[in-house]
Chain A
Amino acid sequence: MREYDVIVVGAGGAGLRAAIAAQEAGADVAMVTKLHPVRSHTGAAEGGINAALREGDDWHDHAYDTMKGSDYLGDAPAVEALTRESPKETIQLENWGMAFSRDEDGVVSQRPFGGLSFPRTTYAGAETGHHMLHTMYEQVVKRGIEVYDEWYVTRLAVTDEDEPEERDCHGVVAYDIKRGEIEGFRARDGVILATGGLGQVYDHTTNAIANTGDGVAMAYRAGVPIEDMEMIQFHPTTLPSTGVLISEGVRGEGGILYNSEGERFMFEGGYANNDGELASRDVVSRAELSEVNDGRGIEDEYVHLDMRHLGEDRILDRLENILHLAEDFEGVDGLEEPMPVKPGQHYAMGGVETNEWGATCVGGLYAVGECACASVHGANRLGGNALPELAVFGARAGRHAAGDVDDEPKITTGWSADSEEGENVSPVPLGEADLPSAGKGALADGGAASDDTASAVDADGVVESAVQAERTRVHYLLEKEEGVNHAEVRSELQETMTQNVNVFREEGALKDALEDIREARQDYQHVTVKDPSRTYNTDLIHTIETRNLLDVAEAITVGALARDEFRGAHWRKAHQERKDDEWLKHTMLSWNDGSPGLWYKPVVLEGEDKTYEPKVRSY
């Protein structure tokens, strides 16, 4: 067993920042990642980092824009932490050498982004995430922080008390992909989940193939509530054939959207009379699909994004990467012709429930970045708010886990007096995908409640028994002779999610999706790994990932079915209005021994010195 003070799972932006902060606070830190840090999906972020850096701007305005953008489903204490600390974190990156784009006078440049009242998006060309990821990894190398790359964390070692609020996380179980060995990692002070997105639930996504929601699913099955999972962001400009992202920076610099009739529909169609192309992402995504559905799409599928009028110099200076992406992945020269774009899954606003320090209700367990829900994005994330989220909450969780903070959180986690039970209206039984001969809880789960864990008394014992459970699980998967390939289950799931739980949502389709997910769960019971090798067994890795996708897809759909209103990215055909009386609350889902329970907790609209009153959200 390997032992550290703090173990960070995942090494994208949030994980790297957390590791640096924990180490600076004196902790002995290890990072465990299924990729190598520089392969993380933060590297694909293009747009920029929102930070109130300049005269005329103020973090209060950034907070207001973010609360409005969230459609009042963001929690003010988290939003204020984000916006107050983002300037410091952004300048910290600059001081670490990040190559931001610069103005003539040598200061870092900023540009306008959707939903912002000030041009406060700091950027590095159209490859801000790449620069940020590499800059932070460089700092990790400089500090000599231990990195276990190509080690896949498959299970959390959490104690087995009945109430999640009484449980403790003592470490993780990880699978060394290169050697095929399973080992325990004991964390003396804390485990920080920073596992990123879950876009592989959909078949048209900007997300990497590795973004399979591992952290969300593991925490969920260990008893930690997951929050607002139905809030999935669809980015309005992705390339139709691959889902590759075309940055909002294109519209920020003045790019224009046209339908097949050559109309600038954001204005002419009345979708956003003031902000046009720079309305927030949910608004633009719906507008594009409405055009396509009304017969004004190109090839019945997409619209055009035109940046030719910006001129070659400006494009090369600020959006060069976009030219390469359009050329490589769609065969289009953005200098000569408009680019085809359509909405694609982009970001999960929901995730593991945390407070504004990244802490969950389970002792010693933290979550930061896209896998977490603090919540700063609510029902709709503003472009340019994901990268500061990584930095701010990564740093906060790192410090907190290392014991450097003793502030009382303002956001409560776990079940409390303010919580209320929800009613689950799924047409099929939920949860449960245990492999038949696997023994209760141990195999398919990766969850807390296994018979072995219950008997473990000390921290080492909890980790050891979790390791045993994972060894049994992997052995079972490798030994099983006949069955289904994970790829079949995965594509079943992705198809139904894209068809039924997309930008536009209807009750019947959501119920269809739940039936299909149930079917996929049943198929998964027969899943088998054909590759017998211990060495670099990607067949096994993808099989375990697929289990995580099942739980995540179900949570998204259950939440979407329950929320019968229209808020942010969540649109319901039969409920086209925001219902503040009923729905100023977070959708919570808890895994109770394999049966997901739905409940709610109120949104925190009270900030430091003001309350954010819900207003009509127009752009």
Chain B
Amino acid sequence: MSTQTEPPEQTDDEAETMPESEPEPEPPSPGDRRRAEKAEREADREAAEAAEEPDLGDDAVTLKVFRYDPEVEAKAEPRFDTFRVPFEKGMTVLDALIDARDTYDSSLTFRHSCRQAVCGSDALFVNGRQRLGCQTQIADLEGDVVRVEPLPHQDVVKDLVVDMEHFYDQMEAVEPYFQTDETPDDELEEQFQTPENREKIKMSTRCIWCGACMSSCNIAAGDNEYLGPAAINKAYRFAMDEREGENMKQHRMELIEQENGVWRCQTQFSCTNVCPKDIPLTEHIQELKREAVKSNLKFW
């Protein structure tokens, strides 16, 4: 299926600028040698690409990638494209996608940036599960084919890129910023936090906003109003932070106790199962439910 790049046409520039008389041949510099080797490699590669089906033997990965672009006639109907890319030890799904894009089809579209599991931009649906492309070793996947799709339950913008606006909106809905009853007056005075309390919120602070949890959640899929695991985890991060104080905790509990909040969770653990940062999302939601019950009891 590949749309291969034709080699650029040879130009005559070099021939024209050659001096008329042959100069003394100089021994080739390391740079010249390297360039010559590069040209050779280049020629080999082109020859290999020219062959109808490049013979990659067993050391190749078959990617089946979801394609869709509403603007381009040939891609307006969703389909899967197949790419065969050479396998290398340590190769991740993201590496394979980049290779497919750079070698065969430069229109293949996906998000990526840090390629070390902190930016959260390459959450994908790989062999039926939400994963970060950069964190998923090809060698660890079962089967001969790597099937890559956009995150389910999100609108597809193009190919593997999904619309994240709803996810961001839900994150913002929980007031995702620190708010204290009082902060120190002195600009050099820190607040105190016990190591135990820091430990308690630690896992919740690891969220990289990748959206894998939201995509895996059946409830969120059927109910657009539900805050979803990532946003509730964000609420947990602040509600449990002792520095915010009791008044603010009360306010936060009110936010997440609303109809679209924690009570929607049906404890299916799918978010926890797919979280690439191992955040115990379901546990956090359950703990907030318990807190909510406790704080409501106070009024009786």
Is B8 in the interface zone, CB < 8 Å from A? yes
User: Bound state CA distance, A178 and B161, in angstroms?
Assistant: 10
8 Å CB contact of B71 from A43, A486, A533: A533
Is B119 in the interface zone, CB < 8 Å from A? yes
Is A210 in the interface zone, CB < 8 Å from B? yes
8 Å CB contact of B191 from A36, A95, A141: A95
| Nearest neighbor of A495 in chain B, beta-carbon distance | B38
User: Bound state CA distance, A147 and B237, in angstroms?
Assistant: 24
**Chain A residues whose C-beta falls within 8 Å of the C-beta of B172 in the assembled complex:** 141
User: Bound state CA distance, A526 and B161, in angstroms?
Assistant: 28
B30 to chain A, nearest CB (A): 7
B3 to chain A, nearest CB (A): 7
Chain A interface: which of B49-57, B193-201, B267-275?
A: B193-201
Is B78 in the interface zone, CB < 8 Å from A? no
**Chain B residues whose C-beta falls within 8 Å of the C-beta of A483 in the assembled complex:** 8
Q: A99-B198, A536-B158 are in contact. Are A329 and B178 (CB under 8 A)?
A: no
Complex contact A138–B176 (CB within 8 A): yes
8 Å CB contact of B109 from A35, A508, A536: A536
8 Å CB contact of B177 from A38, A103, A142, A210: A142
User: Bound state CA distance, A134 and B119, in angstroms?
Assistant: 11
User: Bound state CA distance, A484 and B206, in angstroms?
Assistant: 41
Complex contact B188–A88 (CB within 8 A): yes
Q: A91-B188, A482-B6, A535-B69 are in contact. Are A325 and B116 (CB under 8 A)?
A: yes
8 Å CB contact of B205 from A99, A106, A500: A99
Complex contact A88–B178 (CB within 8 A): no
| Nearest neighbor of B198 in chain A, beta-carbon distance | A102
**Chain A residues whose C-beta falls within 8 Å of the C-beta of B6 in the assembled complex:** 482
| Nearest neighbor of A241 in chain B, beta-carbon distance | B90
8 Å CB contact of A38 from B3, B8, B209, B244: B209
Complex contact B202–A44 (CB within 8 A): no
Complex contact A484–B8 (CB within 8 A): yes
**Chain A residues whose C-beta falls within 8 Å of the C-beta of B137 in the assembled complex:** 328, 331
CB-contacts of A89-104 with B (<8 A)? 91-92, 94-97, 99-104
Is B147 in the interface zone, CB < 8 Å from A? no
Is A538 in the interface zone, CB < 8 Å from B? yes
User: Bound state CA distance, A100 and B113, in angstroms?
Assistant: 25
Complex contact A102–B193 (CB within 8 A): yes
Complex contact B198–A101 (CB within 8 A): yes
Is B112 in the interface zone, CB < 8 Å from A? yes
Is A412 in the interface zone, CB < 8 Å from B? no
8 Å CB contact of A535 from B29, B70, B112, B208: B70
Is B187 in the interface zone, CB < 8 Å from A? yes
**Chain B residues whose C-beta falls within 8 Å of the C-beta of A529 in the assembled complex:** 106
Complex contact B116–A244 (CB within 8 A): yes
Is A209 in the interface zone, CB < 8 Å from B? yes
Is A375 in the interface zone, CB < 8 Å from B? no
Complex contact B195–A99 (CB within 8 A): no
| Nearest neighbor of B94 in chain A, beta-carbon distance | A209
**Chain B residues whose C-beta falls within 8 Å of the C-beta of A495 in the assembled complex:** 38
Complex contact A208–B183 (CB within 8 A): no
Is B144 in the interface zone, CB < 8 Å from A? no
User: Bound state CA distance, A575 and B137, in angstroms?
Assistant: 44
B7 to chain A, nearest CB (A): 9
A303 to chain B, nearest CB (A): 18
Is A531 in the interface zone, CB < 8 Å from B? yes
| Nearest neighbor of B112 in chain A, beta-carbon distance | A209
| Nearest neighbor of A485 in chain B, beta-carbon distance | B5
User: Bound state CA distance, A38 and B121, in angstroms?
Assistant: 9
User: Bound state CA distance, A201 and B35, in angstroms?
Assistant: 19
**Chain B residues whose C-beta falls within 8 Å of the C-beta of A532 in the assembled complex:** 72, 107
Is B120 in the interface zone, CB < 8 Å from A? yes
Complex contact B35–A485 (CB within 8 A): no
Is A235 in the interface zone, CB < 8 Å from B? no
Complex contact B116–A242 (CB within 8 A): yes
User: Bound state CA distance, A508 and B31, in angstroms?
Assistant: 8
Q: A44-B116, A209-B115, A509-B30 are in contact. Are A94 and B191 (CB under 8 A)?
A: yes
**Chain A residues whose C-beta falls within 8 Å of the C-beta of B195 in the assembled complex:** 101-104, 106
Is B184 in the interface zone, CB < 8 Å from A? yes
Chain B interface: which of A456-464, A511-519, A600-608?
A: A511-519
| Nearest neighbor of B115 in chain A, beta-carbon distance | A209
- Residue-wise interface mask of A (194-216) relative to B, using a CB-CB cutoff of 8 A (1 in contact, 0 not): 00000000000000111000000
8 Å CB contact of A485 from B102, B164, B193: B102
**Chain B residues whose C-beta falls within 8 Å of the C-beta of A468 in the assembled complex:** none
Is A499 in the interface zone, CB < 8 Å from B? yes
Complex contact B189–A91 (CB within 8 A): yes
Is A616 in the interface zone, CB < 8 Å from B? no
Complex contact A44–B118 (CB within 8 A): yes
| Nearest neighbor of B237 in chain A, beta-carbon distance | A99
User: Bound state CA distance, A538 and B238, in angstroms?
Assistant: 36
Complex contact A87–B30 (CB within 8 A): no
B114 to chain A, nearest CB (A): 4
Complex contact A242–B90 (CB within 8 A): yes
Q: A141-B177, A208-B119, A509-B31 are in contact. Are A134 and B205 (CB under 8 A)?
A: yes
Complex contact A533–B72 (CB within 8 A): yes
User: Bound state CA distance, A488 and B194, in angstroms?
Assistant: 53
Q: A41-B113, A134-B205, A209-B115 are in contact. Are A108 and B190 (CB under 8 A)?
A: yes
Is B299 in the interface zone, CB < 8 Å from A? no
Given contact pairs A44-B119, A91-B188, A97-B178, enumerate 14 new A-B contacts (beta carbons under 8 Å): A38-B119, A88-B188, A91-B187, A91-B190, A95-B183, A101-B195, A135-B178, A138-B178, A142-B175, A142-B179, A209-B114, A325-B116, A329-B90, A331-B137
Q: Chain B interface (Cβ within 8 Å of chain A)?
A: 3, 5-6, 8, 29-31, 34-35, 38, 69-72, 89-90, 101-103, 105-107, 109-110, 112-121, 135, 137, 157-158, 161, 164, 168, 172, 175-180, 183-184, 187-195, 198, 201-202, 205-206, 208-209, 238, 241, 243-244
Q: List 17 A-B contacts (CB under 8 A).
A: A43-B119, A43-B208, A97-B180, A142-B179, A178-B157, A209-B113, A209-B115, A244-B116, A328-B117, A485-B5, A485-B106, A499-B34, A508-B31, A530-B107, A532-B72, A533-B158, A536-B157
